[in-house]
Amino acid sequence: MTAAYPFVPALREPEGSPIRELFKYLSDPEMISFAGGYPSAALFDADGIGAASARVLRERPAECLQYGATEGAPALRDALVALMAGRGAAVTREQLLVTSGSQQGFDFLVRALVEPGSVVLVEEPTYSATLQALRLAGAEVRGVPSDRHGMDVDALAAMLADGAVRPRLIYTVPTFANPTGATLSPERRLRLLELAARHQVVLVEDDPYGALSFDGAAPPSLLALCDQVPGARPWLVHLASLSKTLAPGLRIGWMVAAPEIIRRAVIAKQVSDLCTPPWIQLAVTQYLAEGRLCAQVEREIAFYRDKRDRLAEALWQAFGERIRFALPAGGMFLWAALEGVDDAAALLPHAIAEKVLFVPGTGFYAQRRARPAFRLSFAGAAPEQIAEGVARLKRAAARLDAAG
Amino acid sequence: MTAAYPFVPALREPEGSPIRELFKYLSDPEMISFAGGYPSAALFDADGIGAASARVLRERPAECLQYGATEGAPALRDALVALMAGRGAAVTREQLLVTSGSQQGFDFLVRALVEPGSVVLVEEPTYSATLQALRLAGAEVRGVPSDRHGMDVDALAAMLADGAVRPRLIYTVPTFANPTGATLSPERRLRLLELAARHQVVLVEDDPYGALSFDGAAPPSLLALCDQVPGARPWLVHLASLSKTLAPGLRIGWMVAAPEIIRRAVIAKQVSDLCTPPWIQLAVTQYLAEGRLCAQVEREIAFYRDKRDRLAEALWQAFGERIRFALPAGGMFLWAALEGVDDAAALLPHAIAEKVLFVPGTGFYAQRRARPAFRLSFAGAAPEQIAEGVARLKRAAARLDAAG
C-alpha cells in the first residue's frame, strides 16, 4: 500500500540541495573537492574547545545539561555583544538572539515575515539554502543582479521604485559572498541601507565570512554602518555565526535585530528547538573569555589566503585567458566561468570522471536553468591538492570540448 | 520612529507560552515550583556525559566539530534503532531522523503537512508548545476530548466519520501525557491506529515520557503496536527524546516515520539548523554504547515515583474530598482540580503570594478560556519541599475562597 500524504505544495516533489547531491562522491578518497562549503577540519581547535567544555561541565553541570533560555545563555549573549563591539557594531543584549547556526536565524525571519506568495528579493547568485528556505515557505523570489562589487543597488532601487510590491525581505551576503566571493563596496553599503530605510523593507545581512579577510580589513558591516543612515537601524537584521571561524559542528550563530523582531524569532525558536544546547553555549562563552578566538581566526586567514592564492595561480596557469574570475578578498569561495562553457553543469560529469568536484552555478539562482559560472571552494582541499585538482579540471574541460 | 513590520498574522500579537510567563518567579529562591516541565537536575549524569564527550572529541575531533549529515550521525541512528528494538519497535535507519529535541520533529511535520487553514486534531488538554507550533502555522486546531484513559477514541471516530475534513495530523501523547499524566489504554491504542489507517491521517505519537514508568511496564507504544493493525504503519509518526531521561540540554530527539515523510523532514532540517551538533550526537552514541542509560533511567524512576507518591499523599491529606486527580503511572505530571474553583488561573496569584507555582489549565487547550484544572509537576521540586508546597497551595485556596 502506498500512502498519499497531503504534503504542502513545496514538498510534494522534494528538491534537495544541489550541493547535497554531490555528497555521495565525497566518500571517494581519490576525489579532490572544491565543492563543499565546509571549513577545513585541519584547523579546528579541538583542544581549546574540549578544555572549555570540560571546565563548564565540571563547574556548572546543571546549567549545562538543563533546558536553557530560548534567547540564549545570558553570558553568551553578553560575550557576543562584546564581540560585535569589536567589529564596530553597537548592540545590546535585547537585540541579540543565539541561534543554532546562522541559518536558523534566517529560518526564523522567514517564519516571522514570509507567507505563501510574499515577494522576497535576493542578490543573485546567492546561497542555495536561502533559496531552499524561501521555496519551502512558498515565497516569490526575485533576483537582484550582482557584479564583482556585490549587489547592483541601482537595479535594486529600480525594483523598489515601482512600488507595486513591498518585499518582505531583501537578502544579501555583502562580505566575501557565497557563492561569488564578492564584497559590496562601501558606497553601495550606504545606498543599500538608505533603500531599506526609505522603502521600509527588512534587509538581511548574512555575514558568516566577514572575519575571514585576507587583504587588510573588510569594509564595515551593514550593521556597523547603519547608524550613519537615518531610519535604517530598525530595518536591518544581521546574521552571524562561529561556523566558519570556530567550528560548524557547534552550531552557534546569532541574530541581531530590533527587539520587536527578536521577540517573534524567540517564539519561532520555542516551537523549533526550544534552545540551543546550553552546554555548547557555555563552552563557547568560556572559549571566548579565554581569548582564543582571535589567534584561531589569524591561523585560518593565513591558511585560506595561501589556498586562495594557490587556486587562483593554478587556474590562471591552466586556463589563461579562457577563465574569468574576480579574486576574492576573503571567505572561502571563488566564482569562475570558462569561455566556451555555457552550462557548467555539463562540465560536472567530466570533472567527476577526472575525480574533481565543484558546484555548477544553477543551484545559486531562483530560476534553475543553465548557467556558465561555477563555484570553487578553496577551504576544504589540502594545499598540496589544489594544483592537481585544477589540472583535473583542465582535463575535464578538454573532455567537454571534445564531446561538444 | 516606529517600524511597521509586515509580520505574518500569527505573530502580529505574539503570544508567549503560559509556562514562560511563570519563569520570572523561578528566580525567587523562596518559591516552590510545581510549574516547569523540567526534569530534575539532581540526577544528571554529568560525569558519564562528560567522559563520553571527551573521549569522542579526542578520538574523532574532525567528525565532532565539522558539519554532519542532516539525517543524523549514522552511528547514533543505529544506536537509536537498537534502543527502539529494546522498546519492542522494529525500525530501520532509513525510518529514523535525529532531531534537536523531539519538538523539532513535530515542527518538521507541521512544515511538511500543515498549511494555513489546515485542520489538525489534538487530544485536549495537550502540550502547550504543540498548540503554539500549530498556531504559528495557521492551523485550525480542533480538540479531541480525553479522560483518565487518554484520548476519547469514540469522539475521534465521530469527528472523522463525517468525512467533511481530512485532518492533516492527529496529535497525542499517549503515555504519561503532558499535562494530564494519563495513559491511553491498550484497546484504545489499537482503535486509534485503526482510525488513522482507515481515514489515512498522519497520527503523531509524541513519547518523551514513556520510559519513566513507575508501576510496572507501560503499554506498548503505538509504534510497537502498529504492525498489528493493517495499513497503520505508513500513517504513524513516533517522536522520542532523551530530554526526560538523559538531559534536556543535549537537545537529542528523534523521529520515526515512513521514508517519504523522513525525506521531507530532512529538507525542513536543512533549512532549519542543517544538523544537530555532531559532537553531542557522537557523545550520546558513546554513552549509549557504554550501557549507562538503563541505570540512569532506573534512578530517575525511583526518584520520580517517590516524589509522585509524596505529592499525591500531601494533596489527599491537605484537600481530602475537595481535590480530584488520577494518580499518574509515570512521567512528570499530575492534573488536578479543586471543588469550588472554576478557573485555576484565579488561584495562581494567591499561590504566587504564598510562594508556590503551578500551571493553570487554560494554556493546554486550543481555546483559551477559564478551566478548573491545573498541572502540577513532581519532577522539579526537591522531595522534602513537596509537602510544604502543598501546604502553601492549601493556603492559596483558602485565600481564593475568602476572596470569592
Q: CB distance from A386 to chain B under 8 Å? A: no
Name the DSSP class of A373.
E
Residues of B with Cβ-Cβ distance to A279 under 8 angstroms: 249-250, 280
Q: Residue B283: CB partners within 8 Å, gap ≥ 6?
A: B49, B52, B53, B56, B57, B250
Contacting residues of B for A66, CB less than 8 Å apart = 38-39, 41, 44, 247-249
For residue B287, is pLDDT > 50? yes
Give the nearest chain B residue to A58 (CA atoms).
B46
Provide the residue type at A15 as one letter.
Answer: E
Q: Which residues pair with A72 in a beta bridge?
A: none
What radius of gyration, in Å, describes the C-alpha atoms of chain A? 21
Mean pLDDT in residue range B345-365: 96
Query: Is the CB of residue A402 less than 8 Å away from at least one CB of chain B?
Result: no
Distance from CA of A172 to the nearest CA of B (A): 17
Residues 313-372 of A with CB under 8 A from B: none
**CA of B105: which chain A residue's CA is closest?**
A272
Length of chain B as a residue count: 404
Q: For A292, list phi and psi in degrees, rounded to 5.
A: -85, -20
Q: What share of chain A is helix, strand, coil (3-state, %, to 5)?
A: 50, 15, 35
* 3-state percent breakdown (helix, strand, coil) of chain B, nearest 5: 50, 15, 35
Q: In whole angstroms, what is the distance from residue A67 CA to residue B17 CA?
A: 15
- Give residue A149's pLDDT: 96
Which residues are bridge partners to B374 per DSSP?
B336, B360
Query: Cβ B8–A113 below 8 Å, yes or no?
Result: yes
Q: Which residue in the set A2, A263, A271 is minimally distant from B107, CB to CB?
A: A271
Cα–Cα distance measured from residue B99 to residue A120, given in angstroms and rounded to the nearest whole number: 29
CB A98 within 8 A of CB A124: no
Counted across chains A and B, CB pairs separated by less than 8 A come out at 225
Q: Which of B166, B234, B280 sits opposite A6 (nearest CB)?
A: B166
- Alpha carbon of B15 to those of A272, B12, B20, B63, B127: distances in Å? 15, 9, 10, 40, 15
Q: Which alpha helices (DSSP H) does A292-385 contain, by range?
A: 293-319, 344-353
Distance CA B168, CA B203 (A): 9
- Grid coordinates representing B4? 511597521
Interface of A with B in 219-258 (CB under 8 A): 231, 234-235, 243, 247-251, 258
Partner residues linked to B142 by β-bridges: B121
Domains of chain B: 15-45+295-403 (3.90.1150.10), 46-289 (3.40.640.10)
**Which residue of A1, A11, A284 to mutate against B (max B Cβ within 10 Å)?**
A11
Q: Count of CB atoms within 10 A of residue A2's CB? A: 7
> Which residues of chain A are within 8 Å of residue B233 when distances are taken between CB atoms?
none
Give the integer Cα–Cα distance in Å for B137 and A13. 21
Cis, peptide link before residue A125, omega less than 30° from 0: yes
Query: What is the interface pTM, i.e. ipTM, of the complex?
Result: 0.95
List, in sequence order, every beta strand (DSSP E) within B81-228.
96-99, 119-124, 140-147, 150-151, 169-172, 202-206
Tens digit of each residue's pLDDT, chain A (404 residues): 467 999 999 999 876 666 667 878 888 899 999 998 899 999 999 999 999 999 999 999 999 999 999 999 999 999 999 999 999 999 999 999 999 999 999 999 999 999 999 999 999 999 999 999 999 999 999 999 999 999 999 999 999 998 888 899 999 999 999 999 999 999 999 999 999 999 999 999 999 999 999 998 899 999 999 999 999 999 999 999 999 999 999 999 999 999 999 999 999 999 999 999 999 999 999 999 999 999 999 999 999 999 999 999 999 999 999 999 999 999 999 999 999 999 999 999 999 999 999 999 999 999 888 999 999 999 999 999 999 999 999 999 999 999 97
Nearest-neighbour CA in chain A from B340: distance (Å): 34
Nearest in space to B156 (alpha carbons), one of B131, B193, B129, B186:
B193
Contact flag A129-B68 (C-beta cutoff 8 Å): no
Closest CA to A311 of A33, A48, A38: A33
What's the confidence (pLDDT) of residue A340? 95
A285 at interface of B, judged by CB pairs closer than 8 A = no
Set of chain A residues whose Cβ sits within 8 Å of the Cβ of B263: 14
* pLDDT at site B1: 46
Rounded Cα gap, residues A34 and B112, in angstroms: 32
Which of A137, A354, A266, A277 has the alpha carbon at shortest distance from B100?
A: A277
pLDDT class of B27 with cuts at 50, 70, 90: confident
Nearest CA in chain A to B37: A67
Give the dihedral of Cα atoms A146, A147, A151, A152; nearest 10 deg: -80
Inter-chain residue contact A274 with B129, CB threshold 8 Å: yes
Q: How far off is chain B from A382, nearest CA to CA, in Å?
A: 14
**Most distant pair of Cα atoms in chain A: their distance:** 65
Q: Which residues contact A98 (CB under 8 A, 6 or more apart)?
A: A71, A72, A73, A76, A77, A80, A252, A253, A254, A276, A281
Out of A11, A258, A278, whose CB is closest to B267? A11
The whole-angstrom distance between A54's CA and the closest CA on chain B is: 7
Shortest alpha-carbon distance between residue B314 and chain A (Å): 27
Name the nearest CA neighbour of A286 among A56, A46, A98.
A56
Q: How many angstroms separate the CA atoms of B391 and A377, rounded?
A: 65
C-alpha to C-alpha distances, A112 to A105, B281, B345, nearest whole angstrom: 11, 30, 30
Partner-chain contact A17 B270, CB within 8 Å: yes
* 8 Å CB contact of B267 and A4: no
Cite the DSSP H helix spans in A87-185: 102-113, 128-136, 153-161
Would you state the cell numbers that stand for residue A122, as one nine-digit string? 535576493
- Neighboring chain B residues of A58 at a CB cutoff of 8 Å: 46, 50
Work out the angle at residue B242's Cα, subtended by the Cα atoms of residues B238 and B245, and round it to the nearest 5 degrees. 120
Cβ of B85 under 8 Å from any chain A Cβ? no
Give the torsion sign (CA, A324, A338, A311, A375).
Answer: positive
Cell numbers found for residue B67: 558539519
Partner-chain contact A129 B62, CB within 8 Å: no
Give the separation between CA A114 and CA A108, rounded to whole angstroms: 10
Cell matching residue B33: 515550583
- How much is the pLDDT for B17? 64
Strand-pairing partners, residue B376, are: B334
Question: pLDDT (tens digit, 9 = 90+) per residue, A211-226?
Answer: 999 998 899 999 999 9
Distance CA(B180)–CA(B176), nearest Å, equals: 7
Smallest Cα distance from A16 to chain B, Å = 7
Q: How far apart are CA A111 and CA B373, in angstroms?
A: 33
A53, containing H or E segment = helix A46-59
Q: How far away is chain A from the Cα of B366, in angstroms, using its nearest Cα?
A: 15
**A284 vs B284: CA distance, rounded Å:** 20
Q: Which residue is closest to B202 within chain A, CA to CA?
A: A5
Task: Note whether B272 contacts A202, CB cutoff 8 Å.
Answer: no
Q: Which residues contact A223 (CB under 8 A, 6 or more apart)?
A: A84, A89, A91, A205, A207, A236, A238, A256
Closest CA to B373 of B383, B381, B363, B382: B363
**For B38-92, what is the HEC assignment?**
CCCHHHCCHHHHHHHHHHHHHHCHHHHHCCCCCCCCHHHHHHHHHHHHHCCCCCC
Q: Which of residues 174-203 of B touch A (CB under 8 A)?
A: 200, 202
Give the Cα separation of B81 and B240 in Å (integer).
12
The whole-chain average pLDDT of chain B stands at 95
Distance separating alpha carbons of residues B348 and B360, to the nearest angstrom: 7
How does pLDDT run across B210-237, given as a tens digit for each residue? 999 999 889 999 999 999 999 999 999 9
- What is the phi-psi region of residue A277: left when phi exceeds 0, alpha when psi lies from -120 to 50, beta otherwise? beta
How do residues B154-163 score in pLDDT, each as one tens digit?
Answer: 999 999 998 8
Task: Say if residues B75 and B63 touch (Cβ distance below 8 Å).
Answer: no
Q: Tell me how far apart the terminal alpha carbons of chain A are, to the nearest angstrom.
A: 46
The pLDDT of residue A1 is 47
CA distances B286 to A45, B36, B52, B281, B282, Å, are 22, 30, 6, 9, 6
What are the φ and ψ backbone dihedral angles of A245, each rounded to 5 degrees?
A: -115, -45
